[in-house]
Structure 1
Amino acid sequence: MKKTLLALALASSSLLAIPAAFAQSAPTDGNNWFLNGNVGRTAINQGPYDNGHDTGYAIDGGYRWALSPNFQLGAEVGYNDLGNIRAKNIFNSQPVVAPGKSQLHGWTAGANAHLDLSPSWYLSGRAGLYSWTGHGMSNDVNPINKGLSDNSWYAGAGIGYNITQNVSVGLNYDYYDAKKHNVDLSTDMISASAEFRF
C-alpha cells in the first residue's frame, strides 16, 4: 500500500508540473479547480465474465490550466469502484453456482483535457495511472478465484454540456486496464457525470 501511495504521489506531482510549464504563456482566465462524479454501467468482455455487467462509480478532482480560449489541460486524481460482475459457466452461459463475482476498484492519477466546441458544449479526455485491487476468476480450463493488485492504466473520453459557468453534465466512456496472472478484470464504463468547477 505504501508503494502504491508513493507511486500516486509521484505521478500527481509530475503531472502538475507539465501543465504549469505550458500555462506560463497561456491566458489566466479559464484556470480552475474541479470535482466530478460518474455513475454508470460497467462491463467485462472477456474470460469467465464475458458480457457481464454491473453498476460502478468514480469520483475525481484536480486542476485545469487554460492553454487557449477554448482548450484546457489539467491533472486529476480519483477513486473508482467498478462493481461486481458474476462469472458465467463456459459450457452453458448460465451463472456459476459457486461464488465467482469479480471485484475491481482503485485509485487513478492522470491528465485530463477539455475542448470547448461552443460556450455550452465541450469534449473531454483523460488518461493516466490506475492502481487497482481486484478479485476474480482466472481464464483457465479449471478457473481459480484470485485476489490481485497492480498498477496499470486508464483512458476515457466524453461529451458535456455547461449548465452554468461552474456546473456541467456529461456522457463518458472509460476503460480501466486490470490484468495479472491470467485474470483479466479490465472493465469498460459508460456513465453519466456531473462536474463542479471553482
Structure 2
Amino acid sequence: MNKLALSAAVAALALSPVLSQAAHADDASTATYGSNINPNWQDNFFAAGNLGQTQARTSDLDHNNSVFQNVRFGWRWNGIIGPEIGYVYLGRPKADIGNGFGSLSAKPQAATVGLNAKYNFYQAWYVTAHAGYMRSRTELAFTAGDFDSRYKTWNSGLYAGLGVGYDVTKNVSLALNYDNYRLQAGNDTSVYYTGVGHTRTNIAAYSASVEYRF
C-alpha cells in the first residue's frame, strides 16, 4: 500500500498548481499553458493509449514481468483537469511450482474511473497525473500436466500514476509514464480451485503513451 500511497501523494502535489490554475482559467486575462489549451469545453476531449511492461511486486510469482496495455478516454476543464474512464490489461505473471511439476498464473484486467490532469510547465513540455478506482477481473489458473483448473474473481482496487511528455502538435502528445495498481485477486472460495485465496498485490507499470485531443 506504501507505493500506491506515495504515487497518490505525488499525484496530489502535481495536481495542486493545476487546481490553482484551473480556478482562474475562465478569466480571459489569465495566461494559459501549453499548445493544447482551448477554452471551448467541447474541444477538450482526449483518447490515450499506453504500451509497456508491468512488474508484480510479490515474491509469490517467479515470472513477474509482463505486457502492459491501457486505453483511456476523458475530458479536461480548460485542458487542465477532468474525469477519465479506461481499460487496463496488467499482463499474465506466473510462478513455477515443484521444479516443473506445474505452474500458477494470474491474468488481471480492469475497468477504471478517476481524475486526470495535464500541466504544461515549459512551452510544449508537460507533466500528467491521474488516480482513481478500478474494478478488476482476474483469472487464476493452475496447470499440472493434463490438469488445468481456472477460476475468475471480481475485486475492487485503486490506481495512481505520473507522466512527463511533449506536445508534438496541438492535438497529439507523447509521454513516458509510471503507474501503480493496488490489485486484489481471489476470494474465500478460489483457494479450493487454484490453491490461491484472497491476495493483495502492487503492480507497477512503465509505459510510453500517445494522446490525441479532439
Return the offset for 1:183.
2.2
Show the counterpart of 1:80. Answer: 88
CA distance in 2, matches of 1:170, 1:136: 32
2:152 paired with 1:147: yes
Return the offset for 1:117.
1.1
Structure 2's unaligned 5+ residue stretches are 1-18, 28-37, 142-148, 188-197
Show the counterpart of 2:75. Answer: 63
Return the offset for 1:185.
4.2
Show the counterpart of 1:46. Answer: 58
Q: Secondary structure at the match of 2:104?
A: coil
Does the CA-based 8 Å contact 1:65-1:72 persist in structure 2? yes
* TM-score (norm: length of structure 2): 0.68
Residue type at the aligned position of 1:72 = I
**What is the CA RMSD across the aligned residues, in angstroms?**
2.8
Does the CA-based 8 Å contact 2:56-2:65 persist in structure 1? yes
Counterpart of 1:159 (choices 160, 164, 173) is 164
Does the CA-based 8 Å contact 2:156-2:184 persist in structure 1? no
CA distance in 1, matches of 2:88, 2:101: 28
Return the offset for 1:23.
6.8
2:210 paired with 1:194: yes
Q: Secondary structure at the match of 2:60?
A: helix
2:46 paired with 1:34: yes
Return the offset for 1:50.
5.7
Does the CA-based 8 Å contact 2:163-2:178 persist in structure 1? yes
Q: Secondary structure at the match of 1:117?
A: strand
Residue type at the aligned position of 1:191 = S
Show the counterpart of 2:103. Answer: 99
User: How many residues are matched?
Assistant: 165
Q: Give deviations 1:148-186, integer Å, cap 9, x for gaps.
A: 211111110000111001000000011111125432343
Identity of aligned residues (%): 29
* Residues 1:47 and 1:146: Cα distance change in structure 2 (over 3 Å): farther
CA distance in 2, matches of 1:126, 1:50: 30
184-193 or 109-118, larger mean C-alpha shift: 184-193
Return the offset for 1:26.
2.4
Q: Secondary structure at the match of 2:156?
A: strand
Show the counterpart of 2:191. Answer: none
CA distance in 1, matches of 2:158, 2:165: 23
Residue type at the aligned position of 2:84 = E
2:133 paired with 1:125: no
* Residues 1:60 and 1:113: Cα distance change in structure 2 (over 3 Å): same
Q: Secondary structure at the match of 2:91?
A: coil
* TM-score (norm: length of structure 1): 0.73
CA distance in 1, matches of 2:40, 2:50: 23
